[in-house]
């Protein structure tokens, strides 16, 4: 693996297990990167506490300030995120359970990656988060689900797919048991995708992402 340092800005809203997994894989030298800053959209997010415990610079940017008459200004919010992370000079923005749709002020400036607990484009989009995804997969009677890492665009859970990993659905699965297996898939897939990015081995062509060989 080439030791190309890659600076990550991690955006989260929840418990931060995705961020912790990335931090552990970085410590284990599986990803040639470092977490330069963590931004949470919720001030009480456990992930924020976990980031601070690891000594990462942290910021909170709640959605409230960007809400008027019940309408959220996602453009202004994305602009504020971009300004907040700029001093940390990130190469890649990593979404780790971040519950806000992003807009051009951030997406035009940075590559943004997301992980989703299903095989996109199925079971993604607004409202498909956490257990809701696995419930929908079971309700639909799917035999296979999985995890997807993709570059983010202005639509929720949408954009060029980097990696996917399939997970079989068992007949006696509950949303909990399925979530656990999909999460295990995410735990290896996301570090792998971030590592490929850090090694500059991802080439985007329109909606397709090509993985370049080690010697490309
Ligand atoms: C992750 O499991 C990820 O798949 C999901 O949020 C979880 C965050 O967990 N993301 C989405 O559903 C994106 N639509 P965490 O807060 O413990 O890191």
pLDDT digits (tens, 9 = 90+) for 2-18: 455 899 999 999 999 99
Least confident of 113-117, 124-128, 170-174, 194-198: 124-128
Which of the listed CATH numbers 3.40.50.170, 3.40.50.300, 2.40.50.140, 3.40.140.10 matches domain 6-202? 3.40.50.170
Catalytic residue selected from 75, 116, 126, 158: 116
Q: Is a pLDDT exceeding 80 seen at residue 60?
A: yes
pLDDT exceeds 80 at position 83: yes
Quick one: pLDDT at residue 177?
98
Q: Around Cβ 39, how many Cβ atoms within 10 Å? A: 23
Q: Which atom of ligand 1 is nearest to the CA of 157?
A: 14
Q: Which of 1-15, 46-60, 81-95, 127-141 has the lowest mean pLDDT?
A: 1-15
Nearest to residue 110, comparing CAs of 37, 51, 56, 57?
Answer: 37
Pairing of strands 67-68, 71-72: antiparallel
Q: Are 189 and 149 in contact (CB under 8 A)?
A: yes
| Beta partners for residue 35, in sequence order | 8
Our mutation pick for probing the ligand 1 site, out of 115, 118, 149, counting the most ligand atoms within 8 A of Cβ, is: 115
Looking at residue 214, what is its pLDDT? 66
pLDDT (tens digit per residue) in 128-149: 988 999 999 999 999 999 999 9
116: annotated active-site residue = yes
CA 116 to ligand 1 center in whole angstroms? 7
State residue 50's pLDDT score.
98
* Domain coordinates in residue numbering, the chain: 6-202
Strand (E) or helix (H) holding 197: helix 175-198
For the chain, helix, strand, coil in percent to 5 are 35, 25, 40
Alpha helix ranges (H) inside the chain: 17-27, 46-53, 74-85, 104-107, 131-139, 175-198
Mutate which of 51, 96, 124, 184 to test ligand 1's pocket (most atoms within 8 Å of Cβ)?
96
Q: What is the pLDDT of residue 215?
A: 62
Q: Is 1's pLDDT higher than 70? A: no
pLDDT bracket for residue 126 (50, 70, 90):
confident
Q: What would the mean pLDDT of 113-126 be, rounded to a whole number?
A: 96
pLDDT of residue 70: 87
pLDDT tens figures, 173-194: 999 999 999 999 999 999 999 9
Q: What is the mean pLDDT of the chain?
A: 95
- What mean pLDDT comes out for the span 77-100? 96
């Amino acid at each position: 693996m080439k030791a190309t340092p890659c600076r990550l800005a991690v955006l989260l809203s929840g418990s931060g297990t995705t961020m912790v997994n990335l931090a552990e894989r970085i410590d284990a030298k599986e990803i040639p990167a470092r977490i330069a800053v963590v931004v949470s959209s919720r001030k009480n997010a456990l992930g924020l506490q976990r980031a601070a415990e690891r000594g990462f610079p942290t910021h909170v940017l709640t959605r409230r300030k960007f809400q008027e008459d019940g309408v959220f200004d996602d453009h202004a919010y994305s602009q504020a995120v971009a300004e907040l992370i700029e001093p940390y000079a990130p190469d890649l923005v990593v979404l780790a359970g971040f519950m806000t749709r992003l807009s051009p002020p951030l997406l035009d400036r940075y590559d943004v990656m997301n992980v989703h607990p299903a095989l996109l484009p199925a079971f993604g989009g607004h409202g498909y988060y956490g257990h809701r995804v696995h419930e929908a997969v079971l309700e639909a009677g799917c035999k296979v689900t999985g995890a997807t890492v993709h570059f983010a665009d202005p639509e929720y859970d949408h954009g060029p797919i980097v990696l996917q990993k399939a997970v079989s659905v068992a007949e006696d699965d509950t949303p909990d048991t399925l979530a656990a297996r999909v999460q295990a898939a995410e735990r290896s897939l996301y570090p792998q995708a971030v590592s490929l990015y850090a090694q500059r081995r991802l080439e985007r062509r329109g909606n397709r992402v090509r993985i370049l060989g080690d010697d490309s």
